[in-house]
Amino acid sequence: MRTVTRFFWLLVLLGALVGCAVNPVTGRKELALMQVSPEEEILLGKKSFGQAMQTMGGIYPDDSVNDYVDRVGQRVAKRSHRPELNYSFKVVNDSSPNAFALPGGFIGVSRGLLINLEDEAQLAAVLGHEIGHVTARHSVQGMQRSTFLDTVVGLAGIAAGEQYGDLASQIGGVTANLIDKRYSRDQESESDWLGIDYMVLAGYDPQGAIELQEIFYRKIENGQNTDWLSGLFRSHPFSKERLDANRTYVAGKYLDRSGYGLDRNSYQQSIEAVLKTQEAYELYDQALKLESQGQLEAAIETYHQAMQNAPTHGLLLNALGMAYLRKEDLIPAKRYLLKAINTDPDYYQSRMGLGYLYLKDRKFADASSQLKKSLELMPTVQAAYLLGEAEEAQGNLAQARELYQAVSQADANGKLGQAAAAKLKGLSE
């Protein structure tokens, strides 16, 4: 009888939650297990966007390049189905060709994709496509159709703020799910066509969208291209059929393309800063590969070469400092991590590395300051565990317990999770 009663009330609860959400693009009602309002959509995207940028190397450190991409994006977004959203467009400092859209109008495009484009119309096509995912609420659709528990936990984690007790729900949770989301073929086609319409309304030649798709096709035509497969094509599946469908769409809808521009010269000039640092980041990528192969000395030497080519780029300074830290050469590690923070104070890994060094030096207050900032930028089990140790060393046992509890939950089967559980047990005895 109790089982029947619980089942009855579960049905009542689900009946209250299940409804129909209206798609802003099609105007059609869609079944939704849980409604996500526009306000919640924006909160979700805003909270996730900063963390998403952190996982990909942070924002590319050149205001002119970011401003240019934002101008193009805003121009296209104003012609979309949802021009009222406060769109944000940023360049991610990542060599992998990629672009992504988060709910509410938060859109990133990678440095690695920019250097593969040829004109502004192609950039407008990329951004228009991502805007299409936002206006059609493709990410939100997946959430609305997911299980009740997953949705509630996801939204709770986003809304939870920065209290240590909520770290378990924040670490690697909703942000990773949104970034790694695979769009269906139908969603990709819908975003292609929406993006083409938006860019044309903004004054760009739709041929730029076809050129973009042809670039994509060349990347997969002669075998698998690992950079593209691990980046853009992982979440945005591409095929020859998709290229042909877009050619047909443009040919059928946009016969007269007079007066629409591609803007080749302005594009090359506007991303000049990215092109100038291309060699530095090629060296950086080589060093990352060497380090992954266990060749730490060679990696450090290559990081130095990369840094000399772009001495004001915090990501390169951070990589060098972290490499010295892994080598346990602590003096240069601290030197380069401090330089990295002075150059880019908003990258989580530099703060975490410096926090660890302060912890080893028994400068516990300084360690706490750096580790708290790291967690604010990007919640990780590593920073949370280290902060637990720093708080414990200062006698802040309630905070330490909260942090260890969060780590033990977030990494239950991992080394840090088990170490945190042991620390927690020791503090409770």
Among 99, 109, 88, 90, smallest CA distance to 45 is for 88
User: Are 296 and 235 within one domain?
Assistant: no
pLDDT in tens, 258-274: 667 777 888 999 999 99
Distances in whole angstroms, Cα of residue 215 to Cα of each of 109, 115, 182, 231, 269 = 16, 12, 21, 15, 20
Judgement on whether residues 228 and 294 belong to the same structural domain of the protein: no
- Average pLDDT (282-298) is 97
220 part of a folded domain: yes
Residues 80 and 125 in one domain: yes
Higher-pLDDT residue of 238 and 208 is: 208
Of 57-61, 144-148, 169-173, 291-295, which gets the smallest average pLDDT? 144-148
| Residue 219 vs residue 237, higher pLDDT | 219
Residues 209, 158 share a domain:
yes
Claim to verify: residue 158 and residue 196 sit in the same structural domain: yes
pLDDT at 11 over 90: no
- The residue that leads in pLDDT, 64 or 48, is 64
Q: Is residue 4 in some structural domain?
A: no
Q: Out of 264, 294, 310, pick the residue that ends a domain.
A: 264
Average pLDDT of the segment spanning 376-400: 95
Q: Is 12 exposed, middle or buried (0-12, 13-18, 19+ CB in 10 A)?
A: exposed
The number of C-alpha atoms within 13 Å of 212 and in the hemisphere containing its C-beta is: 28
Q: Which helix (H) or strand (E) holds 22?
A: strand 19-22
Distances in Å between the Cα of 136 and the Cα atoms of 28, 81, 142, 355 are 11, 9, 12, 42
DSSP symbol at 89:
E
| Block residue for tokens 């346990």 | 328
* One domain for residues 73 and 197: yes
**Is pLDDT above 90 for 30?**
no
Residues 183 and 321 occupy one common structural domain: no
Q: Does any domain span residue 2?
A: no
Tell me: do 172 and 131 sit in the same domain: yes
**Two tokens at 142?**
């997946």
User: Could you tell me if residue 376 is inside a domain?
Assistant: yes
Domain count within the chain: 2
Domain contains 408 = yes
In a domain, 63, yes or no: yes
| Residues contacting 341, CB < 8 A, separation 6+ | 314, 347, 350, 351, 354
Residues facing 21 on adjacent strands: 30
Farthest CA pair distance, the chain:
78
pLDDT of residue 380: 92
- Residue-wise pLDDT for 31-58, tens only, equals 454 567 788 888 888 888 988 899 999 9
End position of a domain, from candidates 264, 299, 315:
264
- Angle, helices 348-360 vs 364-377, to 10°: value is 160
Q: Indicate if 106 and 255 belong to the same structural domain.
A: yes
Among candidate residues 196, 229, 264, the one where a domain is terminated: 264
Residues 47 and 170 in one domain: yes
* Average pLDDT score, the chain: 84
pLDDT in tens, 231-247: 555 555 667 888 899 99
**DSSP secondary-structure letter at 36?**
-
CB 189 within 8 A of CB 132: no
296: CATH:
1.25.40.10
Res. 204 pLDDT band, cuts 50 70 90: very high
First to last CA, the chain: 42
> Do residues 173 and 116 share a domain?
yes
| Short-list 363, 375, 372, CA closest to 330 | 363
| Average pLDDT of span 89-96 | 95
Same domain, 223 and 334: no
Each residue's pLDDT tens digit, 302-320: 999 999 999 999 999 999 9
Band (pLDDT 50/70/90 cuts) for residue 126 is: very high
Write out the residue range of the structural domain in which residue 405 sits: 276-428
106-116 average pLDDT score? 96
Q: What is the pLDDT of residue 201?
A: 95
